[in-house]
Amino acid sequence: MVDIVSSEAGIPRPDHPLDSSGSAKWFLPAFGVLVLVGVVYVGYALSQDLAVAKTVPWILLGIALLIALGFEFVNGFHDTANAVATVIYTRSLPAEFAVMWSGAFNFLGVLTSSGAVAFGILSLLPVELILQVGSSSGFAMVFALLVAAILWNLGTWFLGLPASSSHTMVGSIIGVGLANQFMAPAGSATSGVDWSQATNVGVTLLVSPIIGFFAAAILLYAMKLLVRNPALYEAPKGNAPPPWWIRALLIFTCTGVSFAHGSNDGQKGMGLIMLILIGVVPTAYALNRTPDINYLDAYKAASVSVETALGKYAKPGVTVADAKAAKVAVQDAVRTRTWSDQTTVALQTYIHNTTASLQPYASVDNVPTDLVSNARNDIYLIGEALKLIDKKQLLPMQAADLKAVTDYHKAVDNATKFIPIWVKVAVALALGLGTMVGWKRIVVTVGEKIGKSHLTYGQGAAAELVAMVTIGMADRLGLPVSTTHVLSSGVAGTMAANGSGLQWSTVRNLLLAWVLTLPCSIALAFVLFIVFRQVF
């Protein structure tokens, strides 16, 4: 466990950067007012949404939301510490102010996030669990994911190890998928893990720290060649802050990492909260009730276009018996990720039937509550089938027909993949508050335990700049990356490039946490899913 009092980087305790409190007494009350306003808004918006629900299981909803927001709270004090370590140890900002500053920009990052990462993570889950999220297996899935992730994050935080919340969440999802497949009756059409998607996410998570290490090292070399200011490559002297231009650069990169962390990591909680809401109160959240006024008309028009496009590729004599057979054929294609001539006809029929059920209604608000949940599942399943065409290219199409598919796919995603503003605000509050708590353990590891010498201004700027750019790009591409791994490896890269040397005991611990996070979170979620299946 990390000792937050002693130092291995040669920093005398009286001059320790964690002891500087700064003059940010106004900041905490201001953030408190922001939290209060946010809580009131979340409560009001949630009550307005639930007004359309038939019945609301308040206890189950409250527990589920509390655990989901608890995950983001833990994520805040576990991961955000990485963003502030460099500005604290270079004395660019006082410790308390740095944490509050980072919390505020995490908050803003969550509010402005796209949602792409949220649904990219959820696509790892077995499709039938998402379609049956309101069932006992669906609740077991959500609780197993969240509890496993929280337990592992708390354990690594207690040991002062900068482990990855992204790795933890992905491992938990894989564990649930494996457990779902393990518990399925023999011969049943139950899917497990989408290994192609899991591989893409896994490669991103594994490669990003390597990019962080070498990119930060190269950037530090480049800085030494281009910016020949000795002060940039020296350890801070006493309690004096760095020169203003260095200080501005370090604060800018800290702000960017905090904002990017909020916009990327905050989305994991958003996706899980949406699963909870869809499962507990489907009449309010199964379909997007806040699109533009012409949304449903656009959806219907897009469905007609894609029906026509699919008809061009239907082989003569290939038919499906009825609507039920069409749905089963589409489900089989999604589960096995294969395509046949019958799949083309089945998908065309399924789209036609789904659109026909919505034809009498001018907007989503007019769709009867009894129809909402089934309509959502039908549209979501169609979206998963469309991935086999426009992503996997299992049905070769001409460009014009493929455009009809992609346009319809966007309409499908708009109907089922949405995040209300109040959910973003709730996650932002949890992440921002978490940033204010328990940050010292990870800060000390990043600031003192990776390299053998004190972090210099140039090292801090290089590591933070690489982390900011990497995480920001990943957010725009909808890819989950680990703030922890990118920044920690960036610091290590600058230490190696500077010839400062690495503390190999810490590096070994970091690598061990990196290697163990996936298998341990998989095992935790696997066991918890089986346990919760007996509870729900």
Task: Examine the domain organization and report whether 350 and 401 are in the same domain.
Answer: yes
Task: Examine the domain organization and report whether 371 and 468 are in the same domain.
Answer: no
Task: Examine the domain organization and report whether 385 and 268 are in the same domain.
Answer: no
- Ramachandran region of residue 526, left (φ > 0), alpha (ψ -120 to 50) or beta? alpha
Task: Examine the domain organization and report whether 398 and 466 are in the same domain.
Answer: no
The answer to whether position 326 is within a domain reads yes
Task: Examine the domain organization and report whether 410 and 427 are in the same domain.
Answer: no
Q: Which residue has the higher pLDDT, 342 or 90?
A: 342
If one counts every other C-beta atom within 10 angstroms of the C-beta of residue 181, the result is 14
Q: Tell me, what's the pLDDT at 1?
A: 39
Q: Tell me, what's the pLDDT at 4?
A: 42
Dihedral (Cα; 469, 472, 477, 479), 10-degree rounding: 100
Task: Examine the domain organization and report whether 121 and 234 are in the same domain.
Answer: yes
If one counts every other C-beta atom within 10 angstroms of the C-beta of residue 392, the result is 12
The answer to whether position 46 is within a domain reads no
72-101 average pLDDT score: 80
Q: Tell me, what's the pLDDT at 160?
A: 67
Q: Indicate the pLDDT class of residue 24, thresholds 50, 70 and 90.
A: low
Q: Tell me, what's the pLDDT at 131?
A: 74
Query: Domain tally for the chain?
Result: 2
Task: Examine the domain organization and report whether 111 and 259 are in the same domain.
Answer: yes
Q: At 30, list the tokens.
A: 């201001």
The answer to whether position 43 is within a domain reads no
Q: Tell me, what's the pLDDT at 5?
A: 41
HSE at residue 357, side-chain half, CA atoms within 13 A, is: 18
Q: Which residue has the higher pLDDT, 120 or 141?
A: 141
Q: Indicate the pLDDT class of residue 438, thresholds 50, 70 and 90.
A: low
Task: Examine the domain organization and report whether 434 and 529 are in the same domain.
Answer: yes
Q: Indicate the pLDDT class of residue 516, thresholds 50, 70 and 90.
A: confident
Q: Indicate the pLDDT class of residue 27, thresholds 50, 70 and 90.
A: low
**Highest averaged pLDDT of the listed ranges 241-250, 259-268, 358-367, 405-414:** 405-414
Least confident of 184-198, 225-239, 294-308, 328-342: 184-198
> What CA–CA distance (Å, rounded) separates 89 from 19?
11
The answer to whether position 10 is within a domain reads no
Domain of residue 122, residue span: 57-185+196-284+423-535
The answer to whether position 218 is within a domain reads yes
Q: Where does a domain end: 397, 416, 435?
A: 416
CA torsion through residues 303, 308, 309, 315, sign = positive
Q: Indicate the pLDDT class of residue 16, thresholds 50, 70 and 90.
A: low
Task: Examine the domain organization and report whether 238 and 91 are in the same domain.
Answer: yes
504-517 average pLDDT score: 78
Considering the chain, what is the average pLDDT of its residues? 81
Length of the chain equals 536
Q: Where does a domain end: 369, 401, 416?
A: 416
Task: Examine the domain organization and report whether 313 and 242 are in the same domain.
Answer: no
pTM here? 0.80
Q: Which residue has the higher pLDDT, 456 or 536?
A: 456
pLDDT for residue 29 is more than 50:
yes
> What CA–CA distance (Å, rounded) separates 43 from 62?
12
Least confident of 215-229, 365-379, 466-480, 519-533: 466-480
pLDDT for residue 144 is more than 80:
yes
> What CA–CA distance (Å, rounded) separates 61 from 265?
23
Q: Where does a domain end: 354, 381, 416?
A: 416
* 129-143 per-position pLDDT tens digit: 777 777 778 888 888
Least confident of 38-42, 228-232, 382-386, 429-433: 228-232
Q: At 190, list the tokens.
A: 């139950």
* 199-258 per-position pLDDT tens digit: 776 777 778 888 888 999 999 989 888 888 787 787 777 677 777 888 888 898 889 888
CB 310 within 8 A of CB 348: yes
Q: At 206, list the tokens.
A: 């594994």
The answer to whether position 20 is within a domain reads no
Helix axes 58-79, 421-435, angle to 10 degrees: 50
> What CA–CA distance (Å, rounded) separates 342 from 326?
9
Q: Tell me, what's the pLDDT at 517?
A: 83
Task: Examine the domain organization and report whether 409 and 452 are in the same domain.
Answer: no
Task: Examine the domain organization and report whether 150 and 228 are in the same domain.
Answer: yes
Q: Tell me, what's the pLDDT at 307?
A: 92
The answer to whether position 130 is within a domain reads yes
The answer to whether position 227 is within a domain reads yes
* 166-203 per-position pLDDT tens digit: 778 888 888 988 888 888 766 554 556 667 667 776 77
